[in-house]
Structure 1
Amino acid sequence: MAWILLMIAGIFEVVWATTMKLSHGFTQPGWAIATVVEMIISFAGLIMATKHLPISLAYPIWTGIGAVGSVIVGNVWFHDQLSPITWVFVALLIISIISIKLTSAH
């Protein structure tokens, strides 16, 4: 269950990063409120996951999901242009996240 909570928390990290962009520096109240609510959900999921998982696993996986997800959303939704080498490093992030999970005892 802790891993599922961590995945959900990571997804909400991507969502709040996206709505933060849409808030245009918190000048759009609806998007700003959504961002804060999603941040709370994301942090709550991380907090609950760390009750059962070591922080040395949970935090890097949570941030990794947020980082990779934000890169993908930025590229697909906001048309951010990334160089091919940047995609290589994104792939390395994915490999690292999966490797941390696979090599953990939890």
Structure 2
Amino acid sequence: MMQRNESLSGVLLDETALTLDQLAYACNVEPEWVVRHVEAGVLGDGTVQVTDWRFRSGDLARARRLLHLERDFDANEELAALVLDLADEIRRLRARLHALGLEP
């Protein structure tokens, strides 16, 4: 008998969308965790209806980074979201510098 792996990993194609339950399962969290982060505007596209929520590979990666910050650094949801937003902005700015040939 095969044991259930606690962590699901892999690469999602951009065309593939996850439901609320699938995202929660992929992150090994309860669906309520995902709902709280969507309602806070940290995950998803801001769709109001739970039944319409579909999550892309970027949402999965962001959810896993949020979870990492919350669990490993004991950060509350707001602080984890702020740190993640700042890290994403730094990544975007570095990419722009790279595109302009102005890498530090």
Tell me the TM-score normalized by structure 2: 0.35
Of the two structures, which has the highest relative contact order with CA contacts closer than 8 Å and spacing of 6 or more? 1
**TM-score normalised over the length of structure 1:** 0.34
